[in-house]
Structure 1
Amino acid sequence: MTVPAYDLRAWAKGHYPTEAAVELLIRGKGGRFARESQPWIERLGPSSSFYRVDWDRLHDELGVFSGGERRFLNIAVSMGSPDYPVDLSNDLSGLDDELLLLVLAATAHAAGRPRLLSPATAVPAPANPPGSSLKYGTIGATTFPAPKSIRRPEGERSTNGAMPDPREGRRP
């Protein structure tokens, strides 16, 4: 079956969170979740060429998907309907790289900043801290910055005069 992407986008147009949720369905897993054969993709009426997403129906069907797919769709449903909030600490951690990048881009779009994660606005990554084996930089076309604080291995002293992390405290 085909993906009615044009019609779904036309239906969602004008409401950033719904646009983002529809894009997740269209782009995730090759459009598998936005095929017209899916029970949550329905025509607006018998003579209408537009399709819509029934977020309640999609939410009810989440149990048949794998863990990563369920988390991904749960986030899409949450963007599409205010009735289904999500626990991002759980849902984001279970996504593979492809789906996570889609969700990050969709979140930026839902917040009204669709170009935040576009290649034209990539943020250069800072240099790795001296002696660090950690790698930061580009994922896809987007460059991600290093985290703000990096815990030092036990016994390593600061050479730049920076204050120690107060959360570390004394160790036994």
Structure 2
Amino acid sequence: MLTDLSPRRRRRLVAACGAALLVCAAGGTTLAAAMPAQTPRTCGLGTLKGRYHFAADGWLTTASGRTPLSYAGFEEFDGAGHIKGTIRVSVGGNVAPIERYDAAYTLGSDCVASQTGVIAGEMTHWDLYPSPKGDRFTFIRTDPGTVTSGVEHRVG
């Protein structure tokens, strides 16, 4: 323990540790400066490919108030801009039958995606933000009168 050392030995030990840290820091800086810069990550349609599961909830808002909603399902992204999905929706406690749908998506090199399609009988619009490997993404619905967002995880 440091308390068992004389004050002079503690100062020497602290000074030696400080010097070692400075050498490591300087070496790390030199090493980092010598490493090549990484190219910025870019995305393409193929970043999102495979089956993704999701579940989310939110609100529908109208002039007369808010109605809770929830939904769950999965989507198959083909890596070329097309989606086939399966969803079950509950609005205000009224559970709709399971529905299958087709949708389309775009994915820019900036890794921001957009999805559109008729889901649960209405045209929907979404923004998607994929992780670097495309194994998951966050989403938010962008249609007026809806407040919902969530996460999808690739499962296959």
Q: Fold-level match, TM-score > 0.5? A: no
Q: Which has the higher helix share?
A: 1
TM-score normalised to structure 1 length: 0.19
TM-score normalised to structure 2 length: 0.21
Higher RCO, Cα 8 Å, sep 6+: 2
Q: Which has the higher strand share?
A: 2
